[in-house]
Structure 1
Amino acid sequence: MSNAIDVSVVVCVRNGAATIQRQLDALDAQIEHPPFEVVVVDNGSADGTADLVRQWVGQPVHAAERITLVSSGPAPGIPHARNIGCSNARDGSSRSVTPTMQCGRTGWQRCQRL
């Protein structure tokens, strides 16, 4: 893995334990992609979402060059969570996806609402 990051994928989630694994697996399944990072922003989940993300981060192989889990703190809401995610991203080109979107194997730009 290199240190270059071309795209940052920001995943904002609140109580997404039922759907987050599917989204993370879809990001790992990317076969045509520039070097990218994943920034998962936990937006006050109370259902174990952050623990599931930590388990995923602990797996040995990922498509992403860098993976970060951050908390949005006490202020809930998607705009705030996206800002936190973008401020933790290394790159200026960010894509925001949610756990209720399904990304195809050839690019997160083709994500569709489930």
Structure 2
Amino acid sequence: MVDWPLPPATGLKTTDRERAANIPETRDTIGSAMSDPKSQPGKPKGALGDLVKAESMIQLAIALPAGCVIGWLLGSWADRHFHTTWIGIFGILIGAAAGFIQIITTAKRFMKDPD
């Protein structure tokens, strides 16, 4: 059997991985972690989870004004560049629409996942 190394990120060789797969304690630990629905690695719990929720709520409060300001800045630049007066207003409306889309997307995410 050829002993091929795995990619550099893991540092294990094929034979090491096979040995680890044959250890009963390793198999039981991996199997129980995968079958437990409460152990989801992507969802922080406790104080960190509360901070993530607070950050998302702050994001909701900033989305609409930030979209309007960015749209106004780009629109006013386009007004100066093209010598018009209406693109700035259009930029504010487009920025407001983008802010509302962000708010609705974030709200849907919270409605789907109440944790």
TM range (shorter): under 0.3
Structure that is richer in strand per residue: 1
TM-score by length of 2: 0.22
Higher relative contact order, chain-length normalized (CA < 8 Å, sep 6+): 1
TM-score by length of 1: 0.22
Rg larger for: 2
